[in-house]
């Protein structure tokens, strides 16, 4: 990104960025979102039993390796965490219920919300092993991406992850996020150094990203065995 030149207003000297609508964007609301293959429900304590069973599907705890919390010793410890996590407004968290299983198999959030700057992040994504790399997982992320960009009108959607988290970096690229760089040694998480990779989608890039993901999720892209006919990649 060293050669990146930001857009400028040609009528200003010294150079300044183009004018934008400065109206603050709305905050996300704690409401459900329905999809073809998955539902998102505002996270609640009633989800704890399902989520504990989802945690048990990962006996090694590897799915929490890059999270700032977990794995959890027992259902009570998970419940204590969810009790606080479910009440925050930033991050605002949704439980993920794939139609295929009918159970809550993970969570994700909108976070780092800056209404005055129209800047918002999708993050805190935890999917149990049985949900990872599924149509429902992609649609769960897409529902919040579309909500942030289309419903709420944010101009910048952010994805951040541990720089060593290769699956998350691949997911960002697959969804059409642009890599912006890595902030080195920025955090200490679970007693270890964390370097954070940053990605984004901007408002002018979003229509093409939305079209590509929607086409991949469309029923016409899925064969009788439940496999996609075409892969999801930037631009199509």
Average the pLDDT over 229-234 and give the result.
Answer: 84
CA angle centred on 144, ends 135 and 153, rounded to 5°: 140
Task: Name residue, tokens 């504990």.
Answer: 52
Q: What is the pLDDT of residue 162?
A: 98
pLDDT at 234: 53
pLDDT (average), residues 188-212:
98
Query: For all residues of the chain together, what is the average pLDDT?
Result: 96
| pLDDT level of residue 20 (50, 70, 90 thresholds) | very high
Is residue 235 very low, low, confident or very high in pLDDT (cuts 50, 70, 90)?
Answer: very low
Look at residue 74 in the predicted model and tell me its pLDDT.
98
Mean pLDDT of 134-148: 98
The pLDDT value recorded for residue 3 is 74
pLDDT of residue 233: 74
Of 171, 82, 182, whose CA–CA distance to 122 is shortest? Answer: 171
Q: What does the pLDDT look like over 150-191, one tens digit per residue?
A: 999 999 999 999 999 999 999 999 999 999 999 999 999 999
Q: Name the pairing type of β-strands 106-114 and 119-127.
A: antiparallel
Structure confidence by residue, pLDDT tens digits, 87-120: 999 999 999 999 999 999 999 999 999 999 999 9
Question: What pLDDT was estimated at residue 25?
Answer: 98
pLDDT band for position 4 (50/70/90)?
confident
Does the model's pTM come out above 0.85?
yes
Mean local confidence (pLDDT), 41-50: 98
Domain ranges of the chain: 33-221
Looking at residue 163, what is its pLDDT?
A: 98
> If you average pLDDT over residues 210-234, what whole number do you get?
93
Superfamily of domain 33-221: Gcn5-related N-acetyltransferase (GNAT) (3.40.630.30)
Q: Tokens 């890059």, residue?
A: 66
Which single residue is written with the structure tokens 């968290």?
93
pLDDT score recorded for residue 79: 98
State residue 21 phi and psi, 5-degree precision.
Answer: -70, 115
Q: Which helix (H) or strand (E) holds 156?
A: strand 156-162
For residue 236, pLDDT over 50 is answered with: no
pLDDT at 137 over 80: yes
Strand 119-127 and strand 156-162: the pairing is parallel
Q: What pLDDT sits at residue 2? A: 58
Position 220 confidence tier, pLDDT thresholds 50, 70, 90? very high
Give CA angle at 34 (32, 37), nearest 5°: 135
């Amino acid at each position: 990104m060293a050669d990146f030149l930001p857009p400028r207003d040609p009528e200003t000297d010294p150079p300044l960025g183009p004018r934008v609508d400065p109206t603050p964007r709305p905050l996300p609301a704690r409401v459900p979102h329905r999809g073809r293959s998955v539902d998102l429900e505002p996270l609640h304590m009633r989800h704890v039993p399902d989520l504990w069973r989802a945690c048990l599907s990962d006996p090694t705890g590897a799915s929490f390796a890059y999270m700032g919390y977990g794995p959890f010793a027992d259902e009570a410890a998970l419940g204590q965490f969810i009790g606080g996590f479910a009440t925050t407004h930033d991050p605002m968290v949704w439980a993920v219920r794939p139609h295929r299983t009918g159970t809550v198999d993970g969570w994700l959030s909108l976070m780092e919300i800056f209404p005055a700057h129209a800047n918002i992040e999708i993050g805190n994504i935890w999917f149990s092993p049985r949900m990872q790399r599924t149509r429902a997982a992609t649609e769960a992320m897409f529902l919040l991406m579309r909500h942030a960009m289309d419903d709420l009108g944010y101009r910048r959607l952010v994805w951040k992850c541990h720089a060593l988290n290769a699956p998350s970096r691949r997911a960002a690229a697959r969804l059409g996020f642009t890599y912006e760089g890595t902030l080195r040694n920025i955090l200490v998480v679970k007693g270890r150094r964390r370097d954070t990779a940053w990605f984004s989608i901007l408002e002018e890039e979003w229509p093409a990203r939305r079209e590509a993901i929607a086409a991949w999720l469309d029923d016409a892209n899925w064969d009788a065995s439940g496999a996609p006919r075409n892969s999801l990649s930037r631009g199509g």
